[in-house]
Structure 1
Amino acid sequence: MKINLAAISMAAVLSTSSWAQAPVTSVGGSGSVNDRLAELERAFNARSQAQIDQQRQLNGLQQEVSELRGLLEEQSYRLEQVIERQRAILAAQQDAAQQPAPAPAAPQPSGAQNGGQAQGGASAPAAAPAGNDEQAAYDNAVNLVLQDKDYDAAIPAFARFITQYPQSTYVPNAHYWLGQLLFTQKRFDQAKAQFARVVEAYPGSNKRADSILKLGLIAKEQGDAGLARQYYEQVLREYGNSGAARLAQENLNSL
């Protein structure tokens, strides 16, 4: 999935242009002081409303970019998992091919052969591949976010996945998505716990940089600009060339 950043940038430019054209009535004409003050107040209110509308549009664009980037990262992560599984299968096949052929088994009486099959020998059905339920559970939770947009259902789905599959390679991603959903609902303390879990317990996760960034955004929302600055600077220090670092710099500039 290709993120159309050009279209998003154009939307931001257009919204800025509309803000710049907000009506400003001249207040230097004739009339009483009260009339001129009223004109000035109307001009100020018009410009303030334009600024509010612009900020709302920018916030919406940032949220859309965040979701699209999350989808792209999720697809890349799944592709990496598929490639790793294929490599493991290929390596196992190569090892098996290099093993010497086993010696033929000694003939067994017919009763023994039948008994062996009755006890679940070669005739027993093969076990289902491991991990199918885990993959299905994770895919279901992700699809609730990316396809169905059912965020209320996605929160318990990710929480159940973490509980049921604590050793899964998808657990750090599940913590991140859970934090993202809680952040969207402004449940900042709960979201902070999920992002902090990614940062502290999974140093190699591809969601760690974004999790640090989100901790900074939460600190800003909770009125702690100093802590927010620390998190933004940590992103820049540890992930200087990432998309999260660019967002961290923008938020740092706005403090």
Structure 2
Amino acid sequence: MKFKLAAISMAAVLSTSSWAQAPVTSVGSSGSVNDRLAELERAFSARSQAQIDQQRQLNAMQQEVSELRGLLEEQSYRLEQVIERQRTLLMAQQDAADKPQNAPSAAAQSGGEQTSAQTRQSKESATPASGDEQAAYDNAVNLVLQDKDYDAAIPAFARFITQYPQSSYVPNAHYWLGQLLFTQKRFDQAKAQFARVVEAYQDSNKRADSLLKLGLIAREQGDKDQARQYFDQVLKEYGNTGAARLAQENINGL
């Protein structure tokens, strides 16, 4: 009996000893979980900041591309004007060379020199801008391309349209004004400028891009059906152009 009691006592001691050696962990302790949560929060915050930085870079790149595209179009337009003026001069010289030297023309008999209707029309379309008009337009464009002063460029283009409503640069001025307003997300005002180019200047080299911008504005305002109509119109009227390619990309993204 004593031997049995001793065995039981020894077992109790050994059991107590094993409990003492076991590691003690508090059920309520959650330090490791908090650390992991903090780490996840830091990772999420870093990723969010990276996405914000990427979006800013993308917006800056889009603005630069738009400016470069505008500059290229501006130079192309001015080159076309120079070529048209040269063509007009050559036509006038050819017309003068073809006249008989010993026979007075009807214009000479009436006391003045007349040009053909075609030459006159070409001259009217190629009439260079006046000094003040050219300077006003160049100043507005330079505010965008050189100074990057977009806030000052908006009233500059608006003044140009008001002061020189018959200028050949007016459709370009409407487009630039719309582009500046679009960049500032003033979509309704930008829409009015682009629509003016589309409706009033059918032959403008800015019309395709204006249609494209109207589609982008409709998309930004949540009207996908209207946006698709504008993009389809670009594809229909201006196929195989840069504007058409962008229109197709936007249709694919709707």
Coordinate RMSD, CA, aligned: 2.8
Tell me, in whole angstroms, the C-alpha distance in 2 between the residues paired with 1:144 and 1:102. 56
Aligned residues: 202
**How is 1:168-183 mapped onto 2 (pairs within 5 angstroms)?**
168-183=167-182
Tell me, in whole angstroms, the C-alpha distance in 2 between the residues paired with 1:169 and 1:95. 26
Partner of 1:210: 209
How far residue 216 of structure 1 moved from its aligned partner, in angstroms, is: 2.3
CA deviations on 1:188-241 (whole Å, 9 max, x unpaired) are 211110001111222222111211221222223333344333333433343332
How far residue 86 of structure 1 moved from its aligned partner, in angstroms, is: 0.9
CA deviations on 1:32-68 (whole Å, 9 max, x unpaired) are 5444344333323322222222122122111111110
Indicate how the Cα distance of structure 1 residues 235 and 41 shifts in structure 2: closer, same or farther if over 3 A, else same.
Answer: farther
Indicate how the Cα distance of structure 1 residues 240 and 46 shifts in structure 2: closer, same or farther if over 3 A, else same.
Answer: farther
Partner of 1:67: 67
Q: Give me the identity figure in percent.
A: 86
How far residue 244 of structure 1 moved from its aligned partner, in angstroms, is: 2.2
2:202 paired with 1:185 = no
CA deviations on 1:160-202 (whole Å, 9 max, x unpaired) are 3323333332221111011112222332211110001111222
Partner of 1:244: 243
Partner of 1:156: 155
Partner of 2:79: 79
- Whether the 8 Å contact between 2:218 and 2:226 is mirrored in structure 1 is yes
Of 109, 129, 132, which aligns to 1:131? 129
Tell me, in whole angstroms, the C-alpha distance in 1 between the residues paired with 2:65 and 2:77. 18
Q: Which range moved further: 71-80 or 184-193?
A: 184-193
Tell me, in whole angstroms, the C-alpha distance in 2 between the residues paired with 1:188 and 1:81. 32
Indicate how the Cα distance of structure 1 residues 45 and 228 shifts in structure 2: closer, same or farther if over 3 A, else same.
Answer: farther
Indicate how the Cα distance of structure 1 residues 59 and 153 shifts in structure 2: closer, same or farther if over 3 A, else same.
Answer: closer
Tell me, in whole angstroms, the C-alpha distance in 2 between the residues paired with 1:85 and 1:54. 46
Q: Which amino acid aligns with 1:245?
A: A
**How is 1:29-178 mapped onto 2 (pairs within 5 angstroms)?**
32-101=32-101, 131-133=129-131, 134-178=133-177
- Whether the 8 Å contact between 2:175 and 2:194 is mirrored in structure 1 is yes
**Structure having the higher Rg:** 2
* Structure 1 segments unaligned to the other structure (5+ residues): 1-29, 105-128
- The structure with the greater share of residues assigned to helix is 2
Tell me, in whole angstroms, the C-alpha distance in 2 between the residues paired with 1:59 and 1:207. 22
Secondary structure at the residue paired with 2:247?
helix
- Whether the 8 Å contact between 2:129 and 2:167 is mirrored in structure 1 is no
**How is 1:219-230 mapped onto 2 (pairs within 5 angstroms)?**
219-230=218-229
Indicate how the Cα distance of structure 1 residues 153 and 39 shifts in structure 2: closer, same or farther if over 3 A, else same.
Answer: closer
Tell me, in whole angstroms, the C-alpha distance in 2 between the residues paired with 1:251 and 1:178. 23
- Whether the 8 Å contact between 2:136 and 2:160 is mirrored in structure 1 is yes
Q: Which range moved further: 169-178 or 224-233?
A: 224-233
How far residue 253 of structure 1 moved from its aligned partner, in angstroms, is: 4.2
